């Protein structure tokens, strides 16, 4: 179920040049919201979708889930038999896409408490369980949940899920378990981008890809940036 959005509820969306905030609201009621102020964004039904999917054309959720589905078909795996952890689940956009793919069980985790409330409000029943946790510390609570796959649909990058959290979560998968996520090109192995290297992701992904089977890799445009230029990303799917 998608949130109901009243016509002109949000008005025209305007962005700061550096993407530190966006402006929303009908004339006379305009307000600024931090670009990554997820507690505020998730508190208002439909605001996340309006800003990031409709205005900026965010595609990672749909591209990664599509590639994950293609990998399942290539391996002759029934999605209904999959028990997937949606890492950095937000308000449930990704969980909805996974359910549409036919995934039988979807669990969610996010560090932001407002995400769980928003997912329950806007997309009830999508997740079997939604845990608020920092996986850099608390990944073990999923150790006995029978996970067959971990997906991170738009949660990896500077200021988001750190490599230690992804490493500990993927470590819960049994051999043959699947992963699917999106990363900025600057985070890929061999990157010389200073910001990317500072995250630790290039080294971690080099190690991950060396010990797992890469099933698919596809470059695409994650979304438009405020200045209209493309924010590029790469979707990766693999098997541990």
Residues of the chain where predicted confidence (pLDDT) is lower than 50 = 1, 3-7
**Is 1 within a domain?**
no
| 176/64 same-domain check | yes
What does the pLDDT read at residue 2? 52
**Is 3 within a domain?**
no
Contact in structure between 217 and 188 (CB atoms under 8 Å): no
What does the pLDDT read at residue 49? 96
| 142/229 same-domain check | yes
pLDDT digits (tens, 9 = 90+) for 9-45: 899 999 999 999 999 999 889 999 999 999 999 999 9
| 66/51 same-domain check | no
**Is 4 within a domain?**
no
93-101 vs 60-74: helix crossing angle, rounded to 10: 30
CATH number (domain holding residue 124):
3.40.50.150
Q: Measured between alpha carbons, how far is residue 81 from residues 99, 106, 126, 147 in Å?
A: 12, 11, 16, 11
What does the pLDDT read at residue 4? 43
Range of the structural domain that residue 197 is part of = 60-239
| 77/137 same-domain check | yes
What does the pLDDT read at residue 5? 42
What does the pLDDT read at residue 206? 97
| 128/18 same-domain check | no
| 50/76 same-domain check | no
Instruction: Measure CA 124 to chain center.
Output: 18
**Tokens 């009243």 found at:** 6
Q: Measured between alpha carbons, how far is residue 195 from residues 87, 181, 207, 236 in Å?
A: 22, 19, 19, 20
């Amino acid at each position: 179920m998608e949130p109901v959005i009243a016509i002109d509820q949000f008005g025209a969306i305007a962005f700061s040049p550096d993407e530190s905030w966006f402006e929303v609201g009908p004339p006379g009621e305009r307000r600024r919201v931090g670009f990554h102020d997820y507690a505020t964004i998730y508190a208002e039904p439909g605001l996340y979708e309006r800003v990031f999917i409709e205005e900026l054309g965010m595609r990672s959720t749909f591209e990664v889930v599509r590639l994950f589905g293609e990998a399942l078909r290539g391996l002759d795996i029934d999605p209904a038999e999959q028990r997937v952890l949606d890492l950095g689940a937000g308000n449930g956009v990704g969980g909805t896409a996974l359910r549409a793919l036919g995934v039988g069980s979807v669990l969610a985790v996010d560090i932001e408490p407002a995400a769980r409330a928003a997912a329950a409000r806007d997309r009830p029943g999508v997740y079997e369980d939604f845990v608020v946790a920092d996986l850099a510390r608390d990944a073990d609570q999923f150790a006995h949940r029978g996970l067959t796959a971990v997906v991170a649909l738009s949660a990896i990058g500077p200021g988001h899920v750190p490599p230690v959290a992804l490493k500990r979560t993927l470590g819960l998968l049994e051999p043959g378990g699947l992963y699917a996520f999106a990363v900025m090109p600057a985070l890929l192995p061999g990157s010389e981008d200073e910001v990317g290297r500072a995250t630790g992701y290039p080294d971690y992904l080099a190690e991950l890809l060396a010990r797992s089977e890469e099933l698919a890799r596809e470059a695409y445009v994650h979304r438009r940036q405020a200045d209209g230029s493309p924010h590029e990303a790469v979707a990766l799917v693999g098997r541990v």
